[in-house]
Chain A
Amino acid sequence: MRWAEVKQMMRDTGVDVVGDTDTTLALSWPPPSGRTVHVMAVYQGAIGDLGEWIGLIAMVCQLSDTSLEEISALNAELFMGALVVNPPLPDEPDGQRLVTLRHSLRIDELQVEEFMYALKPIVLNADSLRERINGQEQR
């Protein structure tokens, strides 16, 4: 399994590691705005004959559950990652759903350059989308 090697590789990049379990590595990396963006790397295992994969999940914002159409429209502009609206959180106010930016990476031959090539736009996109979505919500 390459997951252990990939975890070590992620640590070696210098990105802050703020949590570590058997199947996840929680990363924190500041975009130029200075805000913190949290990204979870999640081991997804082997998918058919497509090898082993990880998911990168960046936290974007919380929304009322009426915004699926806007979220879908924003996806058409992205080239790294896709926005999704997650199921309602059990301990949050009614209608509040977490919006995340997700990307999948095949790790069989993953090198640090390819990982960083994915991680940087995920963080930058998550940061800018948070502003954009929150702006739309306030209008």
Chain B
Amino acid sequence: MSVPAFDPFDGAASRQLDRLQEAVRAIGLKTGEVRETPFGVGFGVAWSDTRFSVVSATYEETVGFIYVTAGVLKAVPQARRPLLEVCNGLTRDNPLFPAFLHDAEAGWDVLLSARSPVEVLMSQPAFFRLLLEYGPGTAELALERFAAEGISTAERHTWSEDVPRLIIRSVM
């Protein structure tokens, strides 16, 4: 699905993502295509259909920062307080990847998302690789934490279906 996007910076976000995509390829990882959504632009880096990270940027900033995001729970039952408590505990244990409840009308998701300056990732490829690889593994551990609290979902985020969903939810 290709969605015509409004980009007030005349493609600045897409150009920044192109640079990051090259950086990801240079560290030996394969990326998907850059996807434009109505709210941001991004691409995925996958190891399997359920083990992937999304790199994204919003159109609204000067594109100096990007998000590296991994999905944890998709369309989770809407129990705000227990979800926030587990997210808080996950963030306490792993502040590199804060856990967020994304409570859209279309459904609630839990994501792990790190916001980082683009230039740091460009100049520190080992750190960029760490973020990309660490996200999905951390998401697996997060799933176990939620399950221990009796919180689970029937569906997982998948590479084949949910890259645009995670791009949108990571930037808004």
| Set of chain A residues within 8 Å of B65, measured between Cβ atoms | 79
- Interface membership of A23, Cβ < 8 A: no
| Set of chain B residues within 8 Å of A45, measured between Cβ atoms | none
Name B117's closest neighbour in chain A (CB-CB). A79
B100 touches A76 (CB 8 A): yes
Distance of B124 from chain A, by nearest CB (Å): 9
The residue that B115 contacts in the complex, of A72, A76, A83, with Cβ under 8 A, is A76
Q: A82 with B116: in contact, given A68-B88, A72-B87 (CB under 8 Å)?
A: no
The residue that B95 contacts in the complex, of A72, A76, A84, with Cβ under 8 A, is A84
| Set of chain A residues within 8 Å of B94, measured between Cβ atoms | 104
A79 touches B116 (CB 8 A): yes
- Interface membership of A50, Cβ < 8 A: yes
| Set of chain B residues within 8 Å of A55, measured between Cβ atoms | 95
Q: A85 with B130: in contact, given A72-B101, A75-B100, A79-B117 (CB under 8 Å)?
A: no
| Set of chain B residues within 8 Å of A72, measured between Cβ atoms | 84, 87-88, 98, 100-101
Count residues of chain B with CB under 8 A from any CB of chain A: 21
| Set of chain A residues within 8 Å of B84, measured between Cβ atoms | 68-69, 72
* Bound complex: CA A95 to CA B95 (Å): 23
15 contacts between A and B (CB under 8 A): A68-B81, A68-B85, A71-B88, A72-B88, A72-B100, A72-B101, A75-B98, A76-B113, A79-B115, A79-B116, A79-B117, A82-B95, A82-B98, A84-B92, A84-B95
Beyond contacts A50-B134, A72-B87, A79-B116: 11 other A-B pairs, Cβ-Cβ < 8 A, are: A68-B87, A69-B80, A75-B98, A79-B65, A79-B117, A82-B98, A84-B88, A84-B91, A102-B91, A104-B94, A104-B95
